[in-house]
Amino acid sequence: MKHLLKMADLSAQEIIEILNLADQLKYETHHGIPHPVLQGKTLGMIFEKASTRTRVSFEVGMYQLGGNALFLSARDLQIGRGEPASDTARVLSRYLDGIMIRTFAQEEVETLAEYGSIPIINGLTDYCHPCQVLADLMTIREVKSGLEGLKLCYIGDGNNMANSLIVGALKVGMKVSAATPATDKPHADVMAFAQQFKDFSWTDSVPDAAEGADVLITDVWASMGQESEAAERAARFEGFQINRQLMEKAAKDCMVLHCLPAHLGEEITKEVFDAHAGEIFEEAENRLHAQKAVLVRLLGGKTTVR
């Protein structure tokens, strides 16, 4: 594993190894056991979109691992004025030990990996959000004591979250159903990958997808960069909501996850969100632990802390 560009690049074994290390790092963090295994290392964090969780969890994660993190807003970097990603990658590779980037085009992340000589981590693109899905799988495994054979159901926009969840969950042996409008299906590459699995289904019927689900997941109807389309998207996604009625279709002890930020009353009701807040905020915390595991794997060249 040289980079984390998308879930498709990880084998099932690599995903499980990251989750195991994340569990260990979480235990050590909660018990005050230091793990400064990235001393002297610096992570550059390029942001071309807003962030609360990704920015803070990567920055704190690097500090807890004994290293440093630099917040690099695209508004201040020359990349924001048109300097090519290929040159940015070759320059930053001479100062930094790794780059985390949040941007629009997946191609930009792939270009950094192609031209740079240090690990590149995708902190969200329009195409995917692998760091979030590692935290989601970690949270499901924590609550359900396993992953294989459980049914994960995604409701809503076939966006970056849908793309990474479908690939990641199928890789670790989960059953996956996705309900999106026919106009907003997951990416064609993801659909092609998923259709190789007998335990994958796509539908535009929300109740059909949720039938017997062990985990229900949704995301906003308008992602970052789609703000001007919010009203027309809200009309298109009406009914693609996790609410009390839908919970009745799912398994009795069904979990609910949301990557956040959430728009209550749109993709999820306040009632369901509040009832599952424990899981949703554990999921947010697990961003820290899962990403620390990724950082140790990519920047430390180790699979275990000790």
Catalytic residues: 102, 129, 132, 219, 259, 287
Adjacent-strand bridge partners of 258: 218
Rounded CA-CA distance 54/302 in Å is 23
Give 193 or 221: the residue with its C-beta nearer to ligand NVA: 221
Shortest reach from residue 260's CB to ligand NVA, in Å: 7
Q: How many residues bind ligand NVA (CB under 6 A)?
A: 9
DSSP 8-state assignment for residue 117: S
Let me know if 168 is exposed, middle or buried by CB neighbors in 10 A (0-12, 13-18, 19+): buried
- Binds 52: which of ligand CP, ligand NVA, none (CB < 5-8 Å by kind): ligand CP
* Residue 151 found at the interface with ligand CP (CB under 6 A): no
- Binds 111: which of ligand CP, ligand NVA, none (CB < 5-8 Å by kind): none
Give 93 or 108: the residue with its C-beta nearer to ligand CP: 108
Q: Can you list the positions of beta strands (E) in the chain?
A: 42-47, 68-73, 98-102, 120-122, 151-155, 175-179, 200-203, 215-218, 255-258
List the one residue out of 85, 125, 98, 84 whose CA is nearest residue 38: 98
List the one residue out of 118, 109, 147 whose CA is nearest residue 18: 147
- Binds 219: which of ligand NVA, ligand CP, none (CB < 5-8 Å by kind): ligand NVA
Q: How many residues bind ligand CP (CB under 6 A)?
A: 8
- Binds 164: which of ligand NVA, ligand CP, none (CB < 5-8 Å by kind): none
Say how many CA atoms lie within 13 Å of 119 toward its Cβ.
Answer: 20
C-alpha torsion 199→200→203→209, nearest 10: 50
* Residue 160 found at the interface with ligand NVA (CB under 6 A): yes
**Of 92, 131, 161, 206, the one binding ligand NVA by CB under 6 A:** 161
Site string for ligand NVA, 32-71 (x = CB under 6 A): ----------------------------------------
Count of C-beta atoms within a 10 Å radius of residue 28: 17
Q: Can you list the positions of beta strands (E) in 190-298?
A: 200-203, 215-218, 255-258
The total number of residues shown for the chain amounts to 306
Helix, strand, coil percentages (3-state) for the chain, rounded to 5, are 45, 15, 40
Residues 242-281 that bind ligand CP (CB under 6 A): 259-260
Shortest reach from residue 52's CB to ligand CP, in Å: 3
User: Residue number with the shortest CB distance to ligand NVA?
Assistant: 223
Give 214 or 219: the residue with its C-beta nearer to ligand CP: 219
**Of 7, 166, 256, 259, the one binding ligand NVA by CB under 6 A:** 259
* Residue 125 found at the interface with ligand NVA (CB under 6 A): no
Residues 96-115 that bind ligand NVA (CB under 6 A): none
* Residue 220 found at the interface with ligand NVA (CB under 6 A): yes
* Residue 124 found at the interface with ligand CP (CB under 6 A): yes
Rounded CA-CA distance 13/26 in Å is 20
Residues 40-69 that bind ligand CP (CB under 6 A): 51-54
DSSP 8-state assignment for residue 296: I
Crossing angle of helices 106-115 and 85-92, in 10° steps, is 40
- Per CB under 6 A, residues contacting ligand NVA are 124, 159-161, 219-220, 223-224, 259
- Per CB under 6 A, residues contacting ligand CP are 51-54, 124, 132, 259-260
